[in-house]
Every structure is written in C-alpha cells, then in structure tokens.
Structure 1
Amino acid sequence: MTALGELIGIDDRTVLVLGQELDVERGQPDVGNALVHRAGETLVIVDTGVTDAFRAALREATDRVGPWSRVLVLTTHGHPDHVANNDLADELAGGAGAPAEHFVPAPDLDQMRDPDAYWVRAFERVEGMAPLPAPAVAGPALVSLFRPYRPFAAGTRTYEERPLERIRLGSSRFTGWTFADGAVRVLRTHGHCAGHVIVHLRDCGVLHLSDEGNGACGAMADADQVKIQTTLGAVALLFEEGEAALLTDGHTFAVRRGAEVVVPFLDGLLEQATALQTAALGATGGNGPVVPGEFTARYAQAVAATGGGGANPNALFLAMMAVNQLRELGLRPESAAPGAPWSRPPLRPGP
C-alpha cells in the first residue's frame, strides 16, 4: 500500500514521487507520479501533480538529489493531476536564487487554461452512456477536486517555441527537444492526449512514460489510439536495445526494471489493445445500428476480462473508452441526441 508523496529513490540523484488514485466519492483527486532528477547543475522535475501535500513531497525530493543551481520543470501533458503545482518552479528558483524554466506542450494549453471546458466536452461525448450529472455540472465538479490549481509559472513557455530536434536512441528515431546538454530528452508521442510527451533521462536510464501506458485504450476525446500503441512499441524497442533500463509512468506506483518492462507490461498492453478491439467488433453485432449504452455494458465485460481498464477504472471512464473504440471501428452517431444509435456511414452517398 503506497501513500501520497512517498519517495522511491532510484539513484542518488533521481527520485520517483508517488501520487494517488482518484476517489470522487471521498473528494480525493488522482495525482500523477512525478520524477525529480539532477542532471549536472540542473534540477529537473517531470510533472508536479496536485495538492499541497504532494508539493511538500516534491520539495523533500529536491533536497535528496544533491546541489543544483538551475531549475527545469517539464510537463508531460495538460491534465490537472499532472500540472497543478507547476508554479513550484518559481518557488524553487526564488528560494535558491536560481534561474527557472518551465515547458508545456502547446496543444494542451487550452485545457490547462480552461480545464472545465475540456472535461465538459469529454463528458458530453458519453451523455446517455454512463450515469453522470449533466456534463455542464459534472465537468466543473471533477475539476474542483484539483486544488490548488496553479498550472503556470512566471517563465512558462511551450516546447514548440524551441527548434524541433531529431533524436536518435539506438535504432529508434524520435522528434522532440533536449535539455541539460542532452541528458534530458523530451520525445513527442501525442497519444494519451493531444500534446503528450515522454521523457528519457540519459544518465540514470529512466524512461518516464507518464500516461501513455494508462490502459490499452485511451479514454480522452483527444486521445489517439494508433499513437498510443506506436509509442508502446517504440518504448519496448528502447528497452530491448538497452537504451533505457528503468520505466516509470504516471499512475503505476512502482519502478519497472529490465525484462519486466517489455514482458509482461508493454507487450501486455498491446495484447489488451488487440483483444479489446476484437471484443468491441463482436459487440457491435454486425452492420446494424449499435445502441451505445448496450455496447458499453458489453465492452465493460471485455475490459474486466482483459484487465485493460488502466488507472482509475470507473463507469465513466469505461464509457469514454467505449466511445473511442466505436470511433476506431469506423462507427459514428446517427444524431447529436444523447444515447443516439451508432452505425457505419454508407460507403457511397445516397441517390
């Protein structure tokens, strides 16, 4: 059993700070794991989570990794469980008299500025498919759990303001950005949501997957299933070739090492993805209209059977996954009405 803010030492200059699971009934936000690492004289923090207690744990971790003279905070994506303490960059810089930089993905800026609108949109897609209040109420209610919410620092910039780099790791090619004289690599993946990145720490061999490994099927409206699965395959190759040795992520409260990264974890996620797609295809019942509520119930059974629900499994997120799975199969809602049937668009226009 882990506790919010528990510190796992990876080496003398790298610490994983553990988050917690979502519990809406208790008013408990989920908190994404964070990494604190020292690359030379640069303090690197990958994601900042949420809550004052987690902020205090991050401060404790910065004291463990040794002396530093610069602060670099990297945001993997814009969801509130990963960004709410981002102004910690200013606090650390002010206390140490050190320059601070904070980078975020440009595609996620809108949701960081207005998380209510992002989550209202997410819930509108499953209206009539899962038990929830009106999306206009449910979205702000969820976001209200993530307090204090301070997603920007004084020096926040987007990664995309820097020239894009071609980054080669073993036989793999990525695009992204490097920091701390190449010791920190930010790799574009854009699967879990529109701006998602992953982070490779060269000197300690850690690859931080953040939320790209959060279940076999992405739930969010801006998730891209192909990019998620491509990322999982590319990361598996990095471990097979010895380009990374340790895997951390946003919601698994552990450090995975060596062979266990690929089998069973990454290969397991890809197997779950193919099994869920196969089950979803069977649950559509052929070429006729699909009732989304009924499909979601059958899809939930498949998720339970494969263990592919990811972090924070609940009826709402399952419905969000089901919508994405229907779209991936090529179906579309027949109208904008909540709970409207889904079907395959005709291949040719009508007469």
Structure 2
Amino acid sequence: MTEPTPLGSLVEIDDRTVLVLGQELDIAHEQPDVGNALVHRAGEHLVLVDTGVTEAFRAALRTAVDRVGPWSRLLLITTHGHTDHVGNNDLVDELAAELGVPAEHWVSARDVEQMRDPVTYWERAFDRLTGVAPLPAPPALSAKKVVSLFQPLHPFGTTTRTYEERPLERLSLGSVRMTGWSFADGAVRVLRSQGHCAGHVIVHLRDAGLVHLGDEVNGPCGAMRDADQLKLTTVFGAVATAAAEGAVSAVTEGHDGTVRRGDEVVAHLDEILDQAVALQEAALEITDGHDTVDPAGFATDLGRRVAELGGGGPNPNPVFGGMMSVNMLDEIGLRPAHAGHEGRPWSRPGRTDPAPVAGMPHGIALLPAAAAMVGWKLRGRDK
C-alpha cells in the first residue's frame, strides 16, 4: 500500500507554478480533508487557487509563494466554498499587508451562503441520508462535528467579492465555448462549471497551459446536495476535448496530487465519463423490476458497483457513498414515496394528468380575488 503524501508537499509544475498537496478526511482521528491549492505567478500577479485549511497547510502555501518568483499584485481565486478549500483565505490579506501590495479575492455568489454558514449546509446534506446511510449522530450534531475539524476557518477577507459582480464573458478552450471571467490581463480565466456544487468554477492558467479542475472530478457521480450530474459530465467532456486539441496541456485536481499531461488528460477524463455511464446503468439494473426501492439497500448495492468501477472519489466512506446514492436515485427519476419520512421507499412518480384549472374566478370566489388584486395594485406590484 502506498504511503500517503505528507500534508503540504509541493509539486513543481514549472518554474512559476506549484501544486500544494492536501490530505484525506479521517473523522475517526479528527483529521480534516484538505484540498490541494495552486500557487502561480502570472507576470506581476501572484495567483493562489484555493487555500486549503489548517495552519500546517498555510505554512506550506507560504513556502510555495517563495518558490515562484517576484510579484507585486495578489489574486486569490476560490474554486468553490467547501470548508476544505477556503480555510486560509485570509492569507491574502496577510501577504498583501506584509508587502504593501494590492490584493483581490473572488468567489462565486452561489457559494457565499455555505461559506457563511457551513454547519447548515452540511446539516441539509446529512438530513437527506437519514435511513439511507449510517450517521454517527443526528444531522445537526454530525454537521457540527464535521465542521469543527476545519479550524481555523477564515473564508472571507477584506477584499472578497463575487465573480458575478463582474460582466460575464464568453471564453474558449480551443473549440470549446464556455462562459466565465478573466483576470490578470487574461492570464487567469475562471470558467463556470457548477457540477460539484452550485458555485464551482474551474481555472485556466494560460501561461502554464493548465486547467485546475478542483473537485469536479471527485468521482463519476456528484455527492453534494447541490451537485449537478449533467454539469459534471459536461465539464469532463469539454476539458477532454480541449486537451485532445492541444489547447490544454496539463490538468490538476482538488484532491489528487497527479499532474496529468497531454493524452493522459484525455484518457483520465474519458475514464470518468465511462464510469458515469456505467454507474447509471448499474443503478437501473439495481432498481429494475421494482415498483419501490429501499434507499438503504440501494446505497449498499450501488456502493459495491462504485467500488468495482474504482470511482469512489477521494474520500470514500459510507456517508459520502450514501450521498452519492441519493443523488443517483434522483438522477434516474425516483423520488421519496413520502417526503419527510425517514428511510421510506423511493418510487417513480405516477403519470397522472393535472386536474382542470378553472381560470378566472366567478361568483362568490370573485371577492377574495378582487381583494388580492386591490392589494397587488396598492403595493405597486403591477408596475
């Protein structure tokens, strides 16, 4: 068995780009997972892509900063708002103050709320698992336990703003057309992907020919409650196409320390796409012939298939497996038979035509409708 790479290890990509490696989640030993970060120099800009979490990782970031050469402006790009990627975001203020240089920090508006309140974000994620996968404690307590591991947690700095405050741009990776925002005179391009979670972006570093995929590649099926399976597979295909054309020469990820180059990028992303197709096929096989599906049993069977495919993501465990299973049930069209009832079966919604709609009210029903219209006009809602 390969020994894990120590937290904060540095992987030199080129003379101005360094990948700083994180670590896996180990709740039993109260060890948080830490996402990888990139440190890159683009002209006068020092560019940080994510900042991980923990004091040890913060120190490693500083070491990487010293490796990439002189700079006079600072830019932090946050790929998404999960705690393992944003804990040291205030480092930007610290570095800028030390040298007296201008700094910027950008994050998606869609992720600000979870950054402000990570406990509620995780409580909602865990609440979906009740009766599906084992939780060590009720969702609220489990969420607090998980978030407590990620300390100190400083997702915001004095310069934090949202990408969406800037005009959206049409950007291209070779023949692939995407939308996003450019920084540092076009040397840094942030491309909307929004698959792993609602605000996720990927980052193109022009001078290094590199795309950082963040957590979009954490397995063939998204686990988070705000994941989008279509967007995940779309971004896999888009970057694979750009790499096949030579528009992207290298790819890095949020929890894998491998720097993939050239044909290896295409093969890797094609493999994940194949896994996604195979996993949905497995889900259909598991549910075939069943009017209702036990979500816990489905999670067990799907977990076995995920293991066979080798697509369990960076932190495979029953909780994340259960989260993936719930998303997969939804992906193939099943819904909880009784919303809010723990562990109740899932089934396909009945195909029933909607009841006729009466349209404008008549008779005595005109009175409340007229009152509603008067209130609507008085509040100026019709203008």
Compute the TM-score of the two structures, normalised by the length of structure 2.
Answer: 0.90
Question: 2:126, 2:139 within 8 Å by CA — same for their partners in 1?
Answer: yes
Query: What's the CA shift string for 1:55-91, capped at 9, x where partnerless?
Result: 0000111111000000000000000000010001100
User: How many Å separate the matches in 2 of 1:40 and 1:112?
Assistant: 30
Deviation at 1:168, TM superposition (A): 1.8
Q: Distance in 2 between matches of 1:256 and 1:2?
A: 17
1:287 shift after superposition: 4.3
Q: What SS is found at the alignment partner of 1:283?
A: helix
Q: CA deviation at 1:350?
A: 8.5
Q: CA deviation at 1:47?
A: 0.2
* Aligned residue number for residue 194 of structure 1: 198
Q: Which amino acid aligns with 2:180?
A: G
Cα distance in 2 for partners of 1:22, 1:237 equals 32
The amino acid of 2:189's aligned partner reads: R
1:178–1:350 distance in 2 versus 1, CA, 3 Å:
closer
Q: Aligned residue pairs: how many?
A: 350
In structure 2, list runs of 5 or more residues that go unmatched: 356-383
Match of 2:68 in 1: 65
Instruction: State the shift of 1:257 in Å.
Output: 1.1
- Which of 131, 134, 152 lines up with 1:131 in the alignment? 134
Which residue of structure 1 aligns with residue 302 of structure 2?
Answer: 299
| Residue type at the aligned position of 1:136 | A
SS in 2 for 1:77: coil
- C-alpha offsets along residues 199-257 of structure 1, whole Å, 9 cap, x if unaligned? 00000111100001010000000000000000000000110011111110000112111
Identify the residue that residue 145 of structure 1 maps to in structure 2.
149
1:234 aligns with 2:235: no
Match of 2:186 among 179, 182, 200: 182
Tell me the distance in 1 between the aligned counterparts of 2:238 and 2:174: 11
Amino acid at match of 1:60: T
Q: Residue 329 of structure 1 is aligned with which of 332, 340, 354? A: 332
* Residues 173 and 248, structure 2, Cα contact 8 Å, conserved in 1: no
1:49-64 matches, within 5 Å, as 49-64=52-67
- Supply the distance in 2 between the matched residues of 1:278 and 1:168 (Cα, whole angstroms): 32
Matched, 1:256 2:245: no
Deviations 1:296-317 (A, max 9, x none): 1111111011011111000000
Partners of 1:307 and 1:211 lie apart in 2 by: 17
Other structure's SS at 2:179 match: strand
CA distances 1:161-217 after superposition (whole Å, capped 9, x unpaired): 011111122111110000111011100000000000000000011110000101000
Could you say what secondary structure the match of 1:53 adopts?
helix
Alignment of 1:1-351 (within 5 A): 1-132=4-135, 133-263=137-267, 265-335=268-338, 336-349=340-353
CA distance in 2, matches of 1:9, 1:231: 25
The aligned counterpart of 2:376 is none
Q: Distance in 2 between matches of 1:81 and 1:12?
A: 27
CA distance in 1, matches of 2:152, 2:168: 33
Amino acid at match of 2:38: L
Secondary structure of the residue aligned to 2:11 is strand
User: What one-letter code is carried by the residue in structure 1 that aligns with 2:207?
Assistant: D
> Aligned to 2:289, what secondary structure does the other structure show?
coil
User: Is the Cα contact below 8 Å between 1:9 and 1:16 reproduced in 2?
Assistant: yes
Gap regions ≥5 residues in structure 1 = none
- What SS does structure 2 have at the residue aligned with 1:308? coil
Distance 2:140 2:172 in 1: 44
Q: Is this contact kept in 2: 1:100–1:155, CA < 8 A?
A: yes
Residues 107-131 of structure 1: CA deviation (Å, up to 9, x unaligned): 0011000000000000000111111
Q: CA deviation at 1:285?
A: 3.2
Secondary structure of the corresponding residue to residue 207 of structure 2:
coil
Identity rate, percent: 63
- 1:275 Cα deviation after fit: 0.6
Q: What TM-score comes out, normalization by structure 1 length?
A: 0.98
**Inter-partner Cα distance in structure 2 for 1:255 and 1:221:** 29
Q: Which runs of 4+ in 1 moved over 4 A?
A: none
Name whichever of 53-62 and 340-349 sits farther off: 340-349
SS of the aligned residue for 1:48 comes to coil
Q: What displacement does 1:286 show?
A: 2.2
> Structure 1 residues 230, 69: closer, same or farther in 2, change over 3 A?
same
Counterpart of 2:349, as a letter, is P
Contact 1:287-1:344 within 8 A present in 2 as well:
no
Distance between the aligned counterparts of 2:6 and 2:262, measured in 1? 25
CA distance in 1, matches of 2:237, 2:186: 23
- Please state how far the C-alpha of 1:278 moved relative to its aligned partner: 0.5
Tell me which structure has the larger Cα radius of gyration.
2
